[in-house]
């Protein structure tokens, strides 16, 4: 049994993290912080956690996080980097669900996130927490950078093709759609029900913060810099990401059986489901679960490969993957706390 703290437990990612940790057989939740809601019972804000989480929110100063074995940061970008060093020095293992430690190039991070990085030394040490790629490094990580939601769906979909070198890595296209919860639990006009419902739109076409993160991961897989066009969209649903990925087959190569390529790459992965040939995965098929479902197509036998990748943005795209990483870091069963059948309807 390990002691776990959560910094910033009032957002959608935070409550999802609490839902998963509250049922984890090896976790004792000891502190959940919120400056604005200190003193309020967690279950008063989130009635879904009644009889599961009996703690009250506390200020970071009163949380005694240094006594935890692991601390999750479910906070906005720029928070974990200011507090992680002190916790790491106290022997606490840090899992950041924001973007503070995801991008290795600090100057690149500062360009996209518009602030000076407070802990560049920890960036160099941090492990990028995509288990299907970095499982061995995750085991010994002191600072874990939990991947973003779009980057998880896009990288898992492209990786088998990029690693095998069968598509043109200079012209990758990721057309991705997210539910409104991806924007966070804050009051903004564009996420109001009358604004988001019965509508569909692209955003961040000129450049989205997840672009350098995706490009970094795929470039490592390819062994060189890749070219990527990434266009995110807002859809009128609460949860879910659907990424439609396009790659052009390299001319003059002997193309392997694509279905077999994907099945072999993810054989034994508990949270990646390669669906039968011809399938079209739906976001509702992964709702509230830590699963990524993938299907690979070659329309009309042409020179374009199309990959369909779906996840729940709050689970495999955030809190669930963070718990999966916790399990790897502490030597638990990787599925502990995550053996959840998707919710349908």
pLDDT of residue 197: 92
In the chain, how long is the greatest CA-to-CA distance? 66
pLDDT score of 187: 77
Closest CA to 54 of 30, 76, 38: 30
Tell me whether residue 149 is one of the annotated catalytic residues.
yes
* pLDDT at residue number 190: 86
Whether domain 150-312 has CATH 3.30.360.10: yes
Give the Cα-Cα-Cα angle 38, 148, 294 (nearest 5 degrees). 130
Catalytic residue from among 149, 221, 234, 307: 149
The dihedral over CA atoms of 190, 194, 197, 202, expressed in degrees to the nearest 10, equals -30
Q: Per this entry, what is the length of the chain?
A: 345
Query: What is the pLDDT, as a whole number, of residue 191?
Result: 87
Which residues sit opposite 4 in a β-bridge? Answer: 29, 70
Task: Report domain extents, the chain.
Answer: 2-125, 150-312
- Judge: domain 2-125, CATH 3.30.465.10: no
Q: Which positions of the chain have pLDDT values less than 70?
A: none
Q: Which residue has the tokens 């290795």?
A: 104
Over residues 218-232, the pLDDT tens digits come to 999 999 999 999 999
């Amino acid at each position: 049994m390990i002691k776990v703290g959560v910094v910033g437990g009032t957002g959608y990612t935070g409550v999802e993290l609490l839902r998963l940790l509250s049922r984890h057989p090896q976790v004792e939740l000891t502190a959940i912080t919120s400056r604005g809601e200190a003193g309020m019972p967690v279950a008063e804000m989130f009635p879904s956690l009644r009889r599961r989480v009996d703690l009250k929110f506390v200020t970071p100063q009163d949380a005694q996080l240094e006594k935890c074995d692991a601390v999750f940061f479910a906070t906005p970008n720029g928070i974990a980097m200011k507090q992680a060093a002190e916790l790491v020095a106290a022997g606490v293992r840090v899992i950041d669900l924001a973007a503070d430690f995801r991008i290795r190039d600090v100057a690149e991070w500062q360009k996209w996130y518009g602030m000076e990085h407070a802990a560049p030394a920890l960036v160099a040490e941090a492990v990028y927490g995509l288990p299907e790629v970095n499982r061995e490094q995750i085991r010994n990580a002191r600072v874990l950078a939990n991947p973003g939601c779009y980057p998880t769906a896009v990288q898992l979909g492209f990786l088998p093709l990029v690693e095998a070198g069968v598509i043109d890595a200079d012209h990758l296209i990721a057309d991705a759609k997210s539910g409104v919860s991806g924007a966070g639990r804050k009051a903004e006009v564009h996420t109001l029900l009358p604004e988001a419902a019965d509508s569909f739109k692209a955003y961040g076409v000129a450049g989205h913060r997840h672009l350098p993160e995706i490009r970094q991961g795929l470039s490592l897989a390819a062994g060189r810099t890749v070219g990527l066009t990434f266009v995110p969209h807002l859809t009128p649903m609460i949860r879910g990401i659907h990424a439609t990925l396009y790659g052009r087959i390299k001319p003059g190569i002997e193309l392997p059986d694509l279905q077999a390529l994907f099945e072999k790459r993810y054989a034994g992965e508990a949270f990646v489901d390669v669906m039968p040939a011809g399938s079209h995965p739906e976001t509702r098929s992964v709702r509230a679960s830590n699963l990524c479902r993938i299907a690979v197509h070659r329309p009309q036998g042409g020179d374009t490969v199309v990959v369909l990748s779906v996840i729940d943005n709050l689970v495999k795209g955030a809190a669930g993957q963070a718990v999966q990483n916790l399990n790897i870091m502490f030597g638990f069963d990787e599925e502990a706390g995550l053996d959840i059948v998707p919710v349908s309807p």
